[in-house]
Chain A
């Protein structure tokens, strides 16, 4: 399809397990973003890629969170040793421009992955 695709849509894991969430951005989009959205809250910034370079990871809540985008297209967000507070919807967004042009390019969002940690 033409939009941002995320998989899986739903993920249930036991506390302590590792999980990996995938994002396929819109083809040709330079910028890719991950957000965490807790219940009743707005999306919170996690990290930002420009092509394969991770330019900002200051929003990652702990060193258990790791994101990569090795070929500048698909990105994976990995959470190690999951905790109950990691339960949230994880949103991926992409935009056409690079960092210098970002502010003029709106972000296009995927449907998100709803992660539940038992």
Chain B
């Protein structure tokens, strides 16, 4: 079955610091990859997605993610975070007709 791993569940950093969240998936076939964000008190929102083509994907709010097929990874990055980026971030992979989520990364940005 498809599975997604996210590490470093709790991340605390200062404004202007760089952020990188790791994501690894298990499915070996064709897979579509997503990052969702959940701001405090809000619902899950799509941050960015990868289906095919350029493995470097640009999302909203300055986020980007890189798909590395050989490493089964889809890491999320932002060069300079803001306080408003405080949220929980979920990586998800679609394969075999279902969407599998990681456990999430709780990110806290200190002003």
Q: Which of A3, A40, A103, A109 contacts B51 (CB 8 A)?
A: A103
In the complex, which residues of chain B have a beta carbon less than 8 angstroms from the beta carbon of A106?
34, 46, 49
Q: Which of B90, B97, B102, B104 contacts A56 (CB 8 A)?
A: B97
Give the dominant DSSP class at B's interface: strand
In the complex, which residues of chain B have a beta carbon less than 8 angstroms from the beta carbon of A104?
32, 51
A55 to B36 CA separation, bound complex (whole angstroms) = 24
- Total interface residues on A, CB under 8 Å, equals 27
- Chain A residues with CB under 8 Å of chain B are 3-4, 33, 35, 40-45, 48, 55-56, 59, 91, 93, 99, 102-104, 106-112
- Chain B residues with CB under 8 Å of chain A are 4, 6, 9, 32, 34, 36, 42-46, 49, 51, 90, 92, 94, 97-104
The reply to whether B103 and A59 contact each other, CB–CB distance below 8 Å, is: no
